Amino acid sequence: MQIRRLQVQNVRNLEQVSLPALQRINVFFGANGSGKTSLLEAVHLLLVGRPFRSTQLRPVLRESTEQCVVFAELKDGESQHALGMQRTQADKPLIKLDGERLKSAAELVRLAPLQVLNADAFQLLTGGPGERREFMDWGLFHVEHEFYPVWQRARRALHQRNSLIRHGKIDRPQLLLWSREYARYGDALDVWRQGYIAALAPLFRETLAELNAEVTERVSVVYSRGWARDTELEALLVDGFDRDMQQGYTRVGPHRADLKIQVGGGNAADMLSRGQLKLVVSALRVAQARLLKQAADKDCLFLIDDLPAELDQKHRTALCAVLDNLGVQVFVTCIDKNELRHCWPHTTQPAMFHVEHGAVSPESPNLDQTGRQKG
């Protein structure tokens, strides 16, 4: 799925933006605060239904406005679709695909899998286990049809069990019921996660080798299930009633799972430079996209904010080559257009857009690297 035409109204400092001729690789350049990141956030709003960082809309609404609108024409192979999103501060998003309202966020997210590399992307390595569980579950959501309903049931069972644990008067039969329910679905989640990481790990190492072979030799990916190996989750939950009640929460289960990225036996976040961390995160996201293509024949769309930050020319070129080879659509930003213009393989001509004071204008492909007309 690729976006061929995009219209944005009232997202941050973007009052009215129309991009009628988007390409596979789209580079948006301009000064800080010009609206480059706002454009990426508009695409995120359209394809996910919420801003980058929260479910609150007010911070991304243009000043003195009450609603924002994002519309796109999508191309999926030979098929074309119209997708529109309208949001007000008070209401849930109104999202329509080909004139029909989508009923759930899951329907929207399945439509065009989105990968985001921005300043928050480092949280995948430096943040808590929840960031990495979300990473694993995003992949499973898109490749395992039965994953999402099982994930929902496991979350409900955990919520019910924790509510009983925190209740003043414990209902032991109910606690046993929800413990068994959580173990049932938790075991299924664990099997899926193990299989997913087993398939992802070699793709991750292969991708990272294309970006930084030196780091690849020392990196390892270790899946931690959230409870001890060779033990049954249901038995741990039942035997741990009293201890869980003392702590006030369920201490073991898939909600405690983690994906540990290690370098030389240590935490990658502690061992690598900022630039190396960016390459590792990028390799994880690209590996996910490669696995999704293999398992479900679906393409991701990449939103990359300030790609040149922390990366020298060599590694910028390596990352651009990997993205180009992936064959996906890319929306990428930078300050200086020359930081990215010549990073792509010679067979790829990125579409260049200048962003200034909330206005976006395409740059003629017949300009040389100084911005002058060729010939």
The answer, yes or no, to whether residue 369 has pLDDT greater than 70, is no
Query: In Å, how far are 50, 97, 132, 197, 241 from 91, measured between CA atoms?
Result: 12, 19, 30, 38, 41
The answer, yes or no, to whether residue 39 has pLDDT greater than 60, is yes
Q: What is the pTM of this model?
A: 0.90
What are the residue boundaries of the structural domains of the chain, listed by start? 1-113+307-375, 120-298
Sign of CA dihedral 297, 299, 300, 304: positive
CA 221 to chain centre: 19
Distance, in Å, from the CA atom of 264 to the CA atom of 269, rounded to the nearest integer, reads 12
Residue 72: its pLDDT value, please?
A: 94
1-113+307-375 under CATH 3.40.50.300, yes or no: yes
Percentage of the chain exceeding pLDDT 90: 67
Distance, in Å, from the CA atom of 373 to the CA atom of 368, rounded to the nearest integer, reads 6
Nearest-CA neighbor of 100 among 77, 82, 127, 120? 82
Query: In Å, how far are 17, 30, 140, 218, 366 from 353, measured between CA atoms?
Result: 12, 9, 35, 39, 13
Nearest-CA neighbor of 71 among 88, 83, 81? 83
SS3 63: coil
Distance, in Å, from the CA atom of 241 to the CA atom of 254, rounded to the nearest integer, reads 17
Distance, in Å, from the CA atom of 373 to the CA atom of 375, rounded to the nearest integer, reads 6
Q: 121: number of CA atoms within 13 Å, CB side?
A: 24
Report the CATH number of the 120-298 domain. 1.20.1050.90
Mean pLDDT for the chain overall: 90
159-179 mean pLDDT? 85
Hey, what are 325's tokens?
């080879």
- Rounded to 10 degrees, the C-alpha dihedral 151/278/127/133 comes to 10
**365 pLDDT band (50/70/90 cuts)?**
low
Max mean pLDDT among 8-12, 91-95, 184-188 falls in 184-188
**168 pLDDT band (50/70/90 cuts)?**
low
Percentage of the chain exceeding pLDDT 70: 95
Q: Which helix (H) or strand (E) holds 329?
A: strand 329-334
151 beta partners: none
DSSP letters spanning 134-159: HHHHHHHHHH-TTHHHHHHHHHHHHH
Residue 54: its pLDDT value, please?
A: 66
Domains 1-113+307-375 and 120-298 share a fold: no
Residue appearing with tokens 């001729």 = 21
For 124, residues 6+ apart whose C-beta sits below 8 A from its C-beta are 131, 132, 135, 281, 284
**260 pLDDT band (50/70/90 cuts)?**
very high
For residues 21 and 6, the answer to whether their CB atoms sit within 8 Å is no
pLDDT tens for 194-204 read 999 999 999 99
**55 pLDDT band (50/70/90 cuts)?**
low
Nearest-CA neighbor of 96 among 120, 133, 70, 77? 70
Q: What is the bridge-based pairing of β-strands 25-29 and 351-356?
A: parallel
Distance, in Å, from the CA atom of 151 to the CA atom of 170, rounded to the nearest integer, reads 26
pLDDT tens for 214-231 read 888 889 999 999 999 889
**148 pLDDT band (50/70/90 cuts)?**
very high
277-301 mean pLDDT? 95
